Amino acid sequence: MELFKRQKDFINEFESRLFIELETVIRSFDFVLKDFIINKQLFREGIDGKNKRLPGYSRTTIRLKIGKGDPADRTTLRDKGDFYSSIQIDAFDNHFEVSSNVNHDKFILKRYGRDVLRITDENFRDFLINYYLPKLKNYVNNKFAK
């Protein structure tokens, strides 16, 4: 009878625990989410969080990029790295927000849209599988190990 009561209590608290664990994982591994956005999406692919290719550079910018040795075949939004280094992730109890606090971010967001600060569904799924689910499994195993 005690086991049944523990299982019932666990189920009752599980939904809120899902969000608590997600917030904890995002706070602990925010650098992974940033890496997905900065390196996998923007720099390597030139896409926003909805998998849409960012509009191409002007001819002048392409020449400048080639001269610096930067990729010119896709829009990376990296010049000096200020935008990339200013990206931050804040976790809350039921969501998280990706933002930037560099002076020129309003121009970037106006030109390319807010989705440049969004993580793709595929990358977020990878994050959940590799970071969130193991933490959640550990929580469940510890809860019933007693």
Quick: pLDDT tens for 44-87.
Answer: 999 999 999 999 999 999 999 999 999 999 999 998 889 999 99
DSSP states of 100-132: E-STTHHHHHHHH-GGGGS--HHHHHHHIIIII
Residue 145 vs residue 37, higher pLDDT: 37
- pLDDT for 82: 93
Residue 1 lies in a domain: no
Residue 2 lies in a domain: no
Residue 73 lies in a domain: yes
How many domains does one find in the chain?
1
Min mean pLDDT across 8-17, 106-115, 116-125 is at 8-17
- Domain housing 104: 14-144
